[in-house]
């Protein structure tokens, strides 16, 4: 009885306020999902290494990378239909597989934000300064890092002020980004066929879409990079509690985000490979600015600032949208007593999770500044560690989908293929990529810094460190407040499986 009273008293500490309902629609969520992936920046960072691995078949590798993302997006869609919780993977995995797996899934999502927010803001500042000709400022670490912190604080404030303001800003940023990318691609392809390319150009061919053209090893490496360039679309689903038609619109926005990304990546990939040829891109594989800084000048001449600005706006948009999944996952965990109730606080005026949002930003800033003191390469190594966390919680979500609907998978072919087999195949591919990533990261010479931490590559050490800290915090909170671990798991309503409202 005393324990029940204590639990009841603790329950009253959790605020009753909710996130703002019907704040945004499908198109807003689609834009946020797209911007979360930072397509221009992702292409700038990945196209060189992908071409180095696959040559002219780089577009095919990007096509193959799309497959596991689409399968996991389907899992997000079907899980969101039965549980519109802003914690997404945390909530779904908890209901399907229990609190321990659910907590670790939530921890992985939150930490991806912490690892990457500083890097994204740094890229936004760096390319923005280059676009306006302030190269000396971009090369000055103190100036760049100070401006990066200012950008993170500004983007965090916009997230707290309101979801509608965030969505409006994202609309502007995605329009600028897509416009500049399309102009770049059109000019590049035109100059290839006009014979005015300044590099060793190659006429495009549909055969480039063959993902096996360069061999299995190239495909494996390309898929690992594909996890990075497609990651982020699920931010649309983290806004489910703030969307109109929350049962289906967020999941559809996630799926359509991956499709739009595929078209964008293939279009620009074809244009870049055709204009520059494989040798130029392979030589610049380790230079993030190779495609959209060095190559921008080759293609656009004096208009290269437009491409630099596209990368800057891409990273700026992603800085903001990456805060969303981390903060709302922390909010969801706190509401379910998986974290201290302070993180569940909702800002009374704007109806946004202000405490969890500022905490995510604060930890991300601290991580960015501390890692930068080690070296700039250490910051890149921390971003590389993202693939471990991403593959883990995506795969966990795919498995959770099949487990959640397990009693309904044999009712018809639709359920069996799209809700069961598809997500499990996606989870299997990502699980395999997780193992491959761990193998690659165990070799220090393959890291950006080229140094050894405890005999391993820095990205793997960072990933292991995050996992260990997460397990320790989880065990501590289990002892401190065990209510989350005593929750009853819910059963799927058969009506929701088929998209019908359950009977009252």
Average pLDDT over residues 434-460: 77
Average pLDDT over residues 162-166: 60
User: For residue 387, is pLDDT > 60?
Assistant: yes
275-279's contacts with Cβ under 8 Å and 24+ in sequence apart are: 275/188, 275/189, 275/191, 275/192, 275/197, 275/199, 275/201, 275/299, 276/199, 276/200, 276/201, 277/199, 277/200, 277/201, 277/202, 278/51, 278/55, 278/56, 278/202, 279/200
The b/e string for 429-444 (b: 16+ C-beta within 10 A; e otherwise) is bbbebbebbbebbeeb
Average pLDDT over residues 211-218: 72
Cβ–Cβ < 8 Å for 123, 316: no
Q: What is the pLDDT of residue 489?
A: 61
Q: Please, which pLDDT band fits residue 490 given cuts at 50, 70 and 90?
A: low
pLDDT tens for each residue of 20-52: 776 777 777 787 777 777 787 777 777 777 777
Q: Please, which pLDDT band fits residue 10 given cuts at 50, 70 and 90?
A: very low
CA distance 468 to 475: 11
Cβ–Cβ < 8 Å for 22, 243: yes
User: For residue 222, is pLDDT > 70?
Assistant: yes
Residue appearing with tokens 């407040």: 481
Of the listed ranges 222-226, 265-269, 438-442, 492-496, the least confidently predicted one is 492-496
Q: Please, which pLDDT band fits residue 420 given cuts at 50, 70 and 90?
A: very high
Calculate what percentage of the chain has a pLDDT beyond 90: 22
Q: Please, which pLDDT band fits residue 216 given cuts at 50, 70 and 90?
A: low
Nearest to 234 by CA among 111, 424, 75, 419: 75
Three-class secondary structure assignment of 72-110? HHHHHHHHHHHCCCCCCHHHHHHHHHCHHHHHHHHHHHH
CA distance 480 to 22: 36
Geometric angle at alpha carbon 478, from 476 and 479, rounded to 5°: 70
User: For residue 495, is pLDDT > 70?
Assistant: no
| Cβ neighbours for 85, distance < 8 A, ≥ 6 positions apart | 91, 92, 240, 241, 332
User: For residue 238, is pLDDT > 70?
Assistant: yes
User: For residue 2, is pLDDT > 60?
Assistant: no
The b/e string for 33-49 (b: 16+ C-beta within 10 A; e otherwise) is bbbbbbbbbbbbbbbbb
Average pLDDT over residues 95-105: 93
- pLDDT, averaged across the chain: 80
Nearest to 68 by CA among 484, 478, 391, 482: 391
Average pLDDT over residues 323-352: 87
Q: Give the containing element (helix H, strand E) for 415.
A: none
pLDDT tens for each residue of 299-321: 777 676 777 777 787 788 778 77
Domain architecture of the chain: domains with CATH: 26-484 (1.20.1740.10)
Nearest to 266 by CA among 216, 299, 229: 229
Q: Which residue has the higher pLDDT, 198 or 465?
A: 465
CB-side exposure of 186: number of CA atoms within 13 Å?
A: 6
Average pLDDT over residues 194-218: 80
User: For residue 473, is pLDDT > 70?
Assistant: yes
Average pLDDT over residues 346-364: 87
């Amino acid at each position: 009885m005393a324990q029940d009273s204590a639990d009841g008293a603790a329950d009253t500490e959790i605020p009753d306020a909710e996130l703002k309902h019907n704040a945004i629609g499908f198109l807003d969520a689609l834009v946020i999902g797209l911007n979360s992936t930072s397509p221009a920046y992702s292409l700038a960072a990945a196209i060189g290494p992908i071409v180095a691995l696959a040559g002219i078949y780089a577009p095919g590798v990007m096509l193959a990378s799309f497959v596991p993302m689409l399968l996991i997006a389907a899992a997000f869609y079907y899980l969101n239909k039965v549980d519109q919780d802003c914690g997404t993977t945390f909530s779904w995995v908890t209901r399907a597989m229990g609190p321990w797996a659910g907590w670790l899934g939530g921890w992985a999502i939150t930490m991806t934000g912490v690892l990457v927010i500083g890097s994204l803001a740094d890229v936004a500042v760096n390319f923005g300064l280059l676009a306006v000709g302030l190269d000396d400022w971009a090369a000055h670490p103190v100036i760049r890092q100070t401006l990066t912190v200012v950008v993170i604080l500004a983007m965090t404030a916009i997230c707290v002020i309101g979801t509608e303001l965030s969505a409006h800003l994202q609309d502007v940023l995605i329009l600028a980004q897509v416009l500049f990318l399309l102009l770049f691609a059109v000019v590049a392809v035109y100059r290839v066929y006009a014979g005015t390319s300044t590099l060793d150009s190659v006429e495009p061919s549909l055969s480039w879409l063959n993902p096996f053209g360069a061999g299995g090893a190239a495909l494996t490496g390309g898929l690992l990079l594909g996890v990075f360039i497609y990651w982020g679309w699920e931010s649309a689903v983290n806004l489910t509690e703030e969307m109109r038609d929350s049962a289906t619109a967020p999941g559809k926005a996630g799926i359509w985000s991956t499709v739009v990304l595929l078209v964008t990546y293939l279009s620009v990939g074809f244009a870049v490979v055709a204009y520059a040829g494989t040798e130029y891109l392979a030589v610049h594989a380790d230079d993030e600015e190779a495609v959209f800084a060095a190559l921008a000048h080759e293609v656009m001449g004096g208009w290269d600032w437009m491409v630099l600005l596209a990368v800057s706006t891409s990273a700026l948009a992603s800085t903001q949208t990456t805060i969303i999944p981390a903060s709302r996952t922390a909010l969801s965990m706190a509401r379910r007593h998986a974290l201290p109730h302070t993180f569940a606080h909702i800002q009374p005026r704007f109806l946004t999770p202000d405490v969890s949002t500022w905490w995510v930003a604060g930890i991300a800033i601290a991580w960015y500044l501390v890692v930068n003191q080690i070296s700039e390469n250490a910051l890149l190594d921390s971003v590389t560690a993202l693939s471990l966390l991403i593959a883990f919680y995506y795969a966990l979500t795919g498995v959770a989908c099949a487990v959640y609907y397990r009693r309904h998978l044999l009712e018809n072919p639709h359920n069996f293929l799209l809700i069961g087999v598809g997500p499990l195949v996606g989870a299997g591919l990502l699980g395999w990529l997780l193992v491959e990533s761990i193998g690659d990261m165990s070799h220090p010479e393959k890291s950006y810094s080229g140094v050894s931490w405890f005999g391993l590559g820095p990205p793997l050490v960072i990933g292991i460190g995050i996992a260990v800290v997460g397990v320790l915090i989880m065990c501590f909170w289990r002892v401190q407040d065990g209510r989350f671990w005593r929750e009853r798991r819910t059963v799927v309503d058969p009506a929701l499986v088929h998209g019908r409202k359950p009977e009252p």
